[in-house]
Each structure stands twice: as structure tokens, then as C-alpha cells.
Structure 1
Amino acid sequence: MNKIAHIVGDLGRGGAERFVVDLCNEFAEKPYNEVHLISLCYNNPETTFVNEISEKVNYLSFYKSPGFSLQVLVELTNWLLVQKIQIVHSHLNSLEYLMLYLFKKTETKFFHTIHSTAEAECPGFMMKSLRKSLYKRKLVTPIVVSKDGSESFRRYYGLDNDVVIENGRPFLALTKEYPNLVRKYKGNQDAFLLIHVGRIVKVKNQQLLIEAVQKFNHKEEQKCKLLIIGEVRDEALYQNLQELTKKDQFIEFLGGKDNIADYLNIADFFCLSSFYEGMPISLIEAFSVGCISICTQVGGIKNMINHQDTGFLSTDDSVDSYYQALREAIFFQDKSKIRENAKNAFRLKYHIGASEKRHSQLYNMPITSLS
């Protein structure tokens, strides 16, 4: 029996948290795995992914309050010692809570996934030095989610022992809301339907997307309808975006949604205009249903999309560049080819089963061979 623990700060509705839940669920489908998902903080069922954890996964929260907690560090260490976990895999800001356990004499293998750029995830000098020491001494195996993430890791830490394993998602299921959405957004409307999925935060750069869509609608006869799906994390930014769109009938903010598959299946295009992305789960979801993607050429996105093959990329992060990419995608002749190529890429590379297989292979390598 393989005893595996994945540790994360919380299960808020972000891409990394989404992936951790999916990966644990996939691991738990194997009868030879005993899977534990550890959240340092409490997770509200209404605002997190906690309800999507499989019954086959052992879930535990330490109810940590904001800020560093010595008590949680000790409690987690004691729990790991009692459980005799063989594989400990941390994510985001949870690695430092393994410091006591790391230096115990156990047979445990340690892994940590960097879901963003190395510098964005660990900006402080002290934490950077600590993590670099752990990676360099092969106490922790660093995993990155894209080639761009690997370049970031090697540049930031001056090391070359990272392992690239792409994110993944299971196939998405439609819900009972799908027919209603078809009637509402596809019934009598002749506008192209665009879907954006992302929290309202600066890095997602929704203003660029909005201005590019407004430029398209100003110049073109047939219009675009943009639906922006995502929770508000930056209230000031949200108010600015509301001001930008207050008289625009073609742009709607829908807030967070659980039925993303319904929206992606009715959409003509999926749009991301971010300043940076690691390997966006929302883009993987778009691939899974063959929704044509139009994105800025940043982070792991440029490793996923081949222009005019699996989607479309803007040449830079200017409004005009994104408008040109939008126009190119909308008037592209062979859209069916793009849709099929995206779905094939998902099946081969971005399904959660492929990610689970790569992780299992890495976990089972001898410690002396890791990194």
C-alpha cells in the first residue's frame, strides 16, 4: 500500500487547488493507494473545492488561522510521524510546514510543486535560500507544471534538477443547467459567444480582454458577447471594470460558477488575457471540450497552444494585439481542425490520468535517482 499525502494551504477556488483535488481523487481510484489530502486551513464548502473531494480520499484540516502557526507545524509533524506516510507532496505555501518532519530520519520521499513562477511563489530571500537548500540537497524534489515554469525555476534558483509534469483535469460533465444556458445565450442571438474564466485579480488582466472585445464590437458588424466567470478577489479592480462596462450590453459578469462545462460547451471561444499563467486549469478545461482558445502568449500558455493549430495567441499584451488575435480566430476558416486538435491534446497530455501516471512514476523512483 502506497501512503500518499498532498498538503496545501487551503482549497480556495484557484487552479492549483483545483488540480490538487483532482490529482488526489485520481490517485484514490487505485486500490493500492491510501491518499490523504491535508489542508492547513479550514475550507468553507460554499467557497472552496472541499465538497469535490472523493469519498475515497482521507481529508484532514488543521484549521490554521492567517499567518504562521507553530502549533500547526508541530501537529502536522506529529500526524505524519504517526501515519508513517511514504510520499509527502506539498503545494504553494505549505512547504515550510514540513521543516520539522523533513529532518526526521524516515523513509519518506518529499515533493513540491511550483504552480507559478519560482519568484512569484517564493519572493522572500530567507524562504528562497531555504527552499534552494532543500532542492539542492535533494531533500525535496521540485516539480514544475510547464517548460516556462522550468525556465523560471532554473533562472531563480540556479539549479537544474526540476521535473516537468503538466497539470490535468478529468473529462467535464454537463449539468441540468445546460439547456437553459443554450436557450438564454444561443437561442435568438447571433453574436459570437466568448467565455472568460478567472478570478477578478490584476494578473488575469480582464481589462485588456474587455477593451479588445469593445474594439472588435466597434469595428465589426457582427458582435461578440463576453461572459466573465470568476469570483471577485480585488474589489477595487472589479469596480473599475464595472465602470468600464456599465453601458455595454455585450459584457456580463457572472461571478463564480460550478458548472463551467456548461458554459464552455455553449461558447464559441474561450479567452485568457493574463499577464502570467503557470499552466491554467481553465485552458485545460477549454481543451477538453474543444472550445477554441484565444490567449496572451505568456507563461505555460505558450507551451500549450500552437498558433492556428490548438488555439490562437496574441503577439503581445496590448489591446490591439489581442483584438487582432480575436479577429483572426473568429474569421478562421477551419475551426473544426482547431477544436479536434485541442481535444486530442487534452486526451494525450492534459487528462488527469496522464498527470497521475507521471506522478506515480516519479514517486516510485529510488531516492538516489530523483532529481
Structure 2
Amino acid sequence: MKIVHIIGALRRGGAERFVVDLCNELAKNDQYQIYIISLCDNDADTTFLNEISGKISYLSLHKGKGLNFRVLFKLTSWLVKQKADIVHTHLNAFEYLLLYRFMSGNCKFFHTIHSTAQAECPNFLIKAFRKTLYKKNKVIPVAVSNDGGKSFQKYYGLDNVIVIENGRPFLTLTDEYPVLIKRYKENINSFLLIHVGRIMKVKNQQLLIEAVQKFNANEEKKCKLLIIGDVRDESLYHHLYSMIKDDPYVEFLGGKENIADFLSMADFFCLSSFYEGMPISLIEALSVGCISICTKAGGIKDMIKNEDTGFLSNDNSVDSYYQTIKRAVFYPDKQKIKENSLNSFKQHYHIRTSCKKHVDAYLVI
């Protein structure tokens, strides 16, 4: 069976991370021929390009900004030659499968949204076109969380949405781990908090910084916050940096490949987003038993049970998130939360589980 996944690019982000992981897992089965098609080029130093399995065929179509009809025709020609059995698009790649969709009678088509349906497709005309394809089962809609599935149903008026949760394999420590332990943990009397997320408005890092600063202003034992993630919004980054330039307890570290090292040494993982689909960073935190402190954004509330597999703030106010940090760091049985987090990952969010659900959908529908 030939399975093709199409995505705009492979830069560091949750959807991109998941596509590579899913395809790598699918490629372990010799019955499947797996292809990853990236519409845009990918620099090896800033994307997941080097993490693609050698069993996978990778192709870049060199697209620039905006809709590119040359790329549309090139992709269609390639798909015709390959005679793919499954074509699965992600994010902004949907429109590039359309010509082949009308030319192929046997191929099955899927599209995954990794946020909300409205956020992914705000254009009225494109929405109307997608709705027709979804309603007629010409393209099967896939959501990564119950919250995302509900947004699909409401926005398009659908009853055929499949929910398949994201997944990750177990993470591996690198040689940098002991160096980080020495720098951030040895002889340091503070709670270590890690945030993993691109610097952009939806991630709401301002709330996290303000809540940590409020905690440190009121508590004797402080919180040290490390913010990991590529800068996607330069003006926002400069604003956030102005908030912490004289604060020794908050650091911006930029994008990092060795996320496992940071999460494994952290006392807590923090996510303060306005909205999330099913955040890969949270799955990674669960996989190492790192206690999570989150807002109730999107799919997060499906993943975290308060004081069982993590901690959820009541709302998005600074005081509420501050109180949640306080509740978490002084919780009497943190070991229980760690064990429950790891068990939740094993049962629900390992990439094998997500892969099996995708294969089931490919075969049954």
C-alpha cells in the first residue's frame, strides 16, 4: 500500500513533528511504501528533515509563498505516476490534492486539522469547497482531539469526523543532559519550569512570564523558567524580552533539538496557550513523567485530569495561573502525578497507538 503524506513544510512545530513521527512508524511495516511530500524546501538545521527514516521517500516541491499552480500541477503529475492508495494532507496542503482527487477513483483521501476548523480555513469560498468534499466523503476529515472534532462538526456541519490523537515515541537523552543538570539543577534552590513552544501570540507566553514573576514576588523559594522555541513573531519576542531583561529567573533559549534533556530534568512543564489542538510538547512531557501546568486550551483538557495527570488553571488570568503554579509546586504527592503522567502516555499517546488508528482508518473507510 502506497501512503503519501503532504504538508507545507517540516519546520519545527507540533503538526510537522507528528507527521514525521507517524510516517517513521508506518515505515516500520514493510507492507507500506511511505512518502512525505513537502510543498516548501526545508533547511536541515531548522526543520525535522534529518529525522525522516531512511525507509521513507521524501520529495520537496520548492514552493514559495502563496498558492502556486506550477506546484499543484507538478504534485498532481507525481501522484498520477505513483498511483497512491492513500493521500493524507495536513495544515495548508489541502488545496494541492484537489486535481488528483478528481482524477483518481480508487485512492482514499484524508485531511487532518491540528487546531480548529475555523482557524485553519477562515476563507469563505475555500470553506464552501472543502465542506462539499467532506460532506460527500471525498476527503475524510481527521481531528487530533475531541475539541477539534467538535469544531469540525460545528464549522462544516459534519457527522463523519474521525478523532485520532497525536503521538510520540519515547524520547532519548543526549550527551548534553549531564551538562544541563550541572548548570540548572546542582546546588540551585529553585523549582525548574520548562516551556516548549514557538514564540507566537497563541502560545500566550506573556501569561506564563507574568504568573512566574508573581510567584517569585510572593514566595521564598523561586521558580526558574526556561522558554524553548523558535521565534515566529519578532515584535512579540521583543515585547516579552523587555519583560524579563533584568529577571534572573527567566531565560529564552531559542529552538532546541534535545527537548528530552530539558523535560527530564525539569520539575514542571508549563503551557499557557490560548488554544491548542493536541500539543506534541505536552505529550513529550507526559512521556518522561514531567508534571504539567496548563491552561484549559483546546485538546489539553482532554489530556490532563486535574491533580491526577497534571494541573489546570481555572481560567487564563495571571492570578489563576499563578495559583495553579503554587498548587503544583507545593502538592504533597508529586510522585503520584509523575507516575500517572507516564502511564497516560503509554496508554494513549505513544506513536504506536496513533499509527494503529491511522492504519485502521485507511483500511476500513
User: TM-score range, shorter-chain basis?
Assistant: over 0.9
> Where does 1:149-160 land on structure 2 (aligned, <5 Å)?
149-160=148-159
Q: Cα distance, 1:155 vs. partner?
A: 1.0
- CA deviations over 1:124-148 (Å, ceiling 9, x no partner): 0011111101100100000000010
Question: What does residue 165 of structure 1 align with?
Answer: 164
Question: Are 2:208 and 1:209 equivalent residues in the alignment?
Answer: yes
Question: Are 2:193 and 1:194 equivalent residues in the alignment?
Answer: yes
Question: What does residue 316 of structure 1 align with?
Answer: 315
Q: Cα distance, 1:55 vs. partner?
A: 0.5
Matched residue SS, 1:176: coil
- CA deviations over 1:89-137 (Å, ceiling 9, x no partner): 0000101001110011431000000100000000100111111011001
RMSD over aligned CA atoms reads: 0.6
Q: CA separation in 2, counterparts of 1:45 and 1:315?
A: 40
> Where does 1:45-194 land on structure 2 (aligned, <5 Å)?
45-194=44-193
Name the aligned partner's letter for residue 140 of structure 2: T
Matched residue SS, 1:89: strand
Question: What does residue 243 of structure 1 align with?
Answer: 242
- CA deviations over 1:212-237 (Å, ceiling 9, x no partner): 00000000010000000001111111
Question: What does residue 258 of structure 1 align with?
Answer: 257
Q: CA separation in 2, counterparts of 1:170 and 1:21?
A: 11
TM-score (norm 2): 0.99
Equivalent residue pairs, number = 365
- CA deviations over 1:167-202 (Å, ceiling 9, x no partner): 000100000000000000001101000000000000
Question: Are 2:281 and 1:282 equivalent residues in the alignment?
Answer: yes
Q: CA separation in 2, counterparts of 1:63 and 1:26?
A: 26
Q: CA separation in 1, counterparts of 2:158 and 2:35?
A: 30
Question: What does residue 291 of structure 1 align with?
Answer: 290
Question: What does residue 267 of structure 2 align with?
Answer: 268
- CA deviations over 1:62-92 (Å, ceiling 9, x no partner): 1111111111111111111101100000000
State the 4+ residue runs in structure 1 displaced beyond 3 angstroms. Answer: none
Q: CA separation in 1, counterparts of 2:66 and 2:41?
A: 13
Q: Cα distance, 1:332 vs. partner?
A: 0.6
Q: CA separation in 2, counterparts of 1:289 and 1:139?
A: 39
Q: Cα distance, 1:363 vs. partner?
A: 0.3
Q: Which runs of 5+ in 1 are unaligned?
A: none
- CA deviations over 1:226-272 (Å, ceiling 9, x no partner): 00000111111111111101110000000000000000010000000
Matched residue SS, 1:364: helix
Q: CA separation in 2, counterparts of 1:148 and 1:192?
A: 32
Question: What does residue 36 of structure 2 align with?
Answer: 37
Work out the percentage of aligned pairs sharing the same amino acid: 64
Name the aligned partner's letter for residue 153 of structure 1: F
Q: CA separation in 2, counterparts of 1:209 and 1:65?
A: 35
Q: CA separation in 2, counterparts of 1:250 and 1:225?
A: 5
Question: What does residue 7 of structure 1 align with?
Answer: 6
TM-score (norm 1): 0.98
Question: What does residue 18 of structure 1 align with?
Answer: 17
Q: Cα distance, 1:354 vs. partner?
A: 0.3
Matched residue SS, 2:103: coil
Q: CA separation in 1, counterparts of 2:133 and 2:105?
A: 16
Question: What does residue 327 of structure 1 align with?
Answer: 326
Q: CA separation in 2, counterparts of 1:286 and 1:297?
A: 16
Q: CA separation in 2, counterparts of 1:83 and 1:240?
A: 49
Q: CA separation in 1, counterparts of 2:216 and 2:159?
A: 47
Q: CA separation in 1, counterparts of 2:336 and 2:356?
A: 28
